Amino acid sequence: MTIRAKELGAAILMSAVLAGCSSSGSRSGGEAPSFVMTPPSESQIESSVRQQVSLMLEAFTPIAGQALPNRSVLEAYDFRDFEPIWIKGTSLDMSIYKLVDTLETAQSHGLNAVHYHIDTIKEYLDLPTPSAQQLAELDVIATVAMSSFAHDLSNGRYEPQLIDPNWQLDAPNKDWKNLLFLDNPSDMVNYLPMLAPRQPEYQVLQRWLVYYQELAQKEGDIRVEAGVPLTMSDEGPRVAQLRARLVQLGDIRFSTRKVNEDYFDSDLRSALMQFQKRHHLTADGAAGSQTIQMLNVPLSERAKQISYNLERWRWLPSQMEDDRIWVDLTDYTAHIYLNGQSESMKVVIGKPERKTNVFYGKMSYMVANPTWRVPHRIAQENLLPKLQRDPNYLGKHGFRVFSSWSIGAKELDPTTIDWQSIDPMKLKYRFEQAPDDGNALGAYKFMFPNKFDIYLHDTPAKHLFRETDRAFSSGCIRLEKPAHFANLLAGNSKKQVDSLNKARQTKETTVISLESEIPVYLVYFTVVPNANGMPEFRYDVYDRDPLMEEAMGYMPFHPSESL
């Protein structure tokens, strides 16, 4: 996506044009404007469309953080020699009313319907005898609204890099442009909903968003009062509140079976454990303070969280490769899809102060028994302080030091360097750790070259995989079962299998090229559907949701509003 910064003049122009649009349709006592004498002709309308396209597109200028596809609107009108899209002869095509209905579904995708000028379009539609200019304005605004919604539904409305510099995964497609060149507006409107991501995860989350929105409107939140933890065999009104909240959130399915609502039975415990699991809480079946706090998160807040993740899905490619590696950062898991099979294993990701970037790459080779060339930042922040405490640290841990990062740099004796006097910002040395049992990369690293110098690798710190939250690395991704992962990559290739086995025997550093590149996705979601189709709300380890809230300018859903 490309974006132009918001210009104050353009914003003023936009307001002026829209104000003019509204005032041109104002009526007193239901009477038609006196200046409309006769219906406009087709040639008058077409001439006005040609004049209005440039003016209206300038008014609807892109706003920082958003991508409005106005150039494509201009191309579509030019392709039609500026014939109107929504006006046939001198009358409106009825599909424009279906367009309005479709635009009003924006909220069900976590998009703000106000961006698609629905109220302005309706004001034009209410005009009893619109002029040629008013019809032309309506035609262009409706097309801008449709194309903007098509783009946003397909690619996402917001620029991910402007929201979060660490988010570099953005795969815009041009599929949405096709609808602007369909034969008639009816086909355009029918094509519009099909532009939403087709991934099952998106569709499931989208249904849950609608559910939470409707629930907030019709019922509001059922709250569980704070108090002592609720456990099996407890009785009282707080147990009834707990049961009612779990019914509301879908963890207890509606049943005609008569139950004692005030009694904490085994079914209630099972439902509570399910709730705890999908909110990444300890699933002990007791409603303690942390669980009650999570139960009482407002429905409107949950709807906002889902909307952020729907936008994240829209930043992904419209189609995924069958063979791919999918590293789910918030679940600390790598999912491997190869040759029609799928496996998963635990990972360790970057700590919050050294976030693992979100991006896409292509794995092209792996290295057995790798040498670790210490990244400059890690050398400054981690290695130098250790050397200043213990000048013999390098020798004890198998490190070599070189005079610079240049090719052919001279190897130095670390005991001859005054480490205490070195300013971290002026550190010029290159450090390398030889392949051995203590090497920070372990026995394997898996490379998908990228500007962040991030890769997957083994680790000697196996104990970290026993932790639930595993954000401990300096940005790279550590694999729980690297040897097995290497076997999966080698597959049935005799050449790769032989190279891998030889490297394991000799312990020599060996580069093994893959026969074909494998796509690697590093993704970040704070809400995902679990195996049962329920929304799983995860800990936002990198605090990315507040960035989404600020950028999207999310308007909270109020129960008094109609959908």
86-109 confidence digits (pLDDT tens): 988 778 899 999 999 999 999 999
Average pLDDT, the chain: 87
pLDDT, one tens digit per residue, over 158-191 is 989 989 999 999 998 888 999 999 999 999 999 9
Q: Which two tokens stand for residue 58?
A: 């300038």
Mean of pLDDT values over 386-412 = 91
Residue 382 in this model has a pLDDT that exceeds 70: yes
189 shares a domain with 241: no
DSSP string, 129-149: S--HHHHHHHHHHHHHHHHHH
Mean pLDDT calculated for residue range 284-306? 96
397 catalytic? Reply is no
- 443: pLDDT confidence band, cut at 50, 70 and 90? very high
Q: Give pLDDT tens digits for 265-287.
A: 999 999 999 999 999 999 999 99
Phi, psi of 527 (to 5 degrees): -140, 130
Identify the pLDDT of residue 68.
53
Query: What is the percent of the chain where pLDDT is above 90?
Result: 72
Whether 481 and 454 share a structural domain: yes
Give the residue among 240, 256, 243, 244 at the shortest CA–CA distance from 220: 244
Angle at CA 192, nearest 5°, toward 188 and 193? 145
Residues 227 and 108 in one domain: no
Collapsing DSSP to helix, strand or coil, 319 comes out as coil
Domain boundary pick from 145, 177, 196:
196
pLDDT tier, 45 (very low <50, low <70, confident <90, very high otherwise): low
Is residue 313, in this structure, part of any structural domain at all?
A: no
Tokens standing for 108? 């069900």
Q: Which of 68-77, 96-105, 246-255 has the lowest mean pLDDT?
A: 68-77
pLDDT in tens, 417-431: 999 999 999 999 999
Distances (CA, A) of 252 to 134, 206, 222, 296, 512: 54, 21, 14, 16, 52
The stretch 427-453 carries a mean pLDDT of 92
| In-domain check, residue 311 | no
Cα–Cα nearest to 294, from 223, 207, 239: 223
pLDDT at 133 over 90: no
Give the 3-state secondary structure of residue 514: strand
- C-alpha 227/C-alpha 287 separation (Å) is 10
46 and 175 fall within a common domain = yes
CA angle 71, 75, 77 (to 5 degrees): 120
pLDDT digits (tens, 9 = 90+) for 227-241: 999 999 999 999 999
Checking if the pLDDT of 10 tops 70, the result is: no
Residue-number span of the structural domain to which 400 is assigned? 320-523
pLDDT in tens, 327-337: 999 999 999 99
For residues 463 and 536, state if they share a domain.
no
Question: Residue 233's domain is classified under what CATH number?
Answer: 1.10.101.10
CB 98 within 8 A of CB 169: no
Region 373-377: what's the mean pLDDT? 89
Structural domain count, the chain: 3
Given a cut of 60, whether residue 81 has pLDDT beyond it is yes
Beta strands in 323-398, from DSSP E residues, in sequence order: 324-328, 333-338, 341-350, 359-368, 372-373
* pLDDT mean over 316-322: 93
Residues found in the chain: 563
Does residue 149 sit in the same domain as residue 274? no
Q: Which of 137, 163, 196 is the last residue of a domain?
A: 196
CA distances from 175 to 41, 197, 206 (A): 35, 11, 21
Give the max Cα distance, the chain: 96
Q: Are 315 and 156 in contact (CB under 8 A)?
A: yes
Q: Is the pLDDT of residue 562 over 50?
A: no
Q: What is the pLDDT of residue 255?
A: 66
Clarify whether residues 187 and 219 are in a common domain.
Answer: no
Contact predicate 527/537, CB 8 Å:
yes
Q: Is residue 314 part of a domain?
A: no
Mean pLDDT of 527-543: 96
Residues 6+ apart with CB under 8 A from 193: 102, 105, 153
CA angle 295, 296, 301 (to 5 degrees): 105
Mean pLDDT of 16-33: 35
Residue 32 in this model has a pLDDT that exceeds 80: no
Is the pLDDT at 249 greater than 90? The verdict is yes
Last residue of a domain, one of 168, 196, 224: 196
Residue 1 domain flag: no
Identify the active-site residue in 457, 463, 484, 558: 457
Catalytic residue (one of 117, 151, 279, 476): 476
Q: Using alpha carbons, select from 342, 313, 360 the residue that is nearest to residue 199.
A: 313
Q: Are both 141 and 237 inside the same structural domain?
A: no
Give the residue-averaged pLDDT of 342-356.
97
Query: Domain holding 330: CATH number?
Result: 2.40.440.10
Contact (Cβ atoms closer than 8 angstroms) between residue 2 and residue 67: yes
254 lies in the same domain as 398: no
CA separation for the pair 311, 324 (Å, rounded): 22
pLDDT band per the 50, 70, 90 thresholds, residue 26: very low
Domain presence at residue 169: yes
Task: Using a pLDDT cut of 70, give the percent of the chain over it.
Answer: 86
In a domain? residue 561: no
Question: For residues 86 and 125, is the Cβ–Cβ distance under 8 A?
Answer: no
In this prediction, residue 259 has a pLDDT band, given cuts at 50, 70 and 90, of: confident
* Domain annotation covers residue 557: no
Structure tokens that stand for 286 in this block: 């007791």
Question: Is 21 an annotated catalytic residue?
Answer: no
**Tell me, what amino acid is at 103?**
L
Q: What is the pLDDT of residue 556?
A: 43
Q: Tell me, what's the pLDDT at 39?
A: 59
pLDDT at 65: 43
Question: What pLDDT does residue 131 have?
Answer: 87
Same-domain check for residues 108 and 151: yes
Q: Per DSSP, which regions of 17-169 are E strands?
A: 87-88, 91-92
pLDDT in tens, 477-523: 999 999 999 999 999 899 999 999 999 999 999 999 999 999 999 99
What single letter denotes the amino acid at residue 460?
P
Range among 268-272, 395-399, 437-441 rated most confident: 268-272
What is the secondary structure of 386-435 as a DSSP string?
A: HHHH-TTHHHHTTEEEES-SSTTPPEE-GGGS-GGG--GGG---EEEE-S
- In the chain, what are the helix, strand and coil shares in percent, each to the nearest 5? 45, 15, 40
Per-residue pLDDT, averaged over 48-52, amounts to 70
Q: Are 385 and 239 contained in the same domain? A: no
Q: Is residue 296 part of a domain?
A: yes
Do 233 and 149 reside in the same domain of the chain? no
**Distance of alpha carbon 445 from alpha carbon 458, whole angstroms:** 6
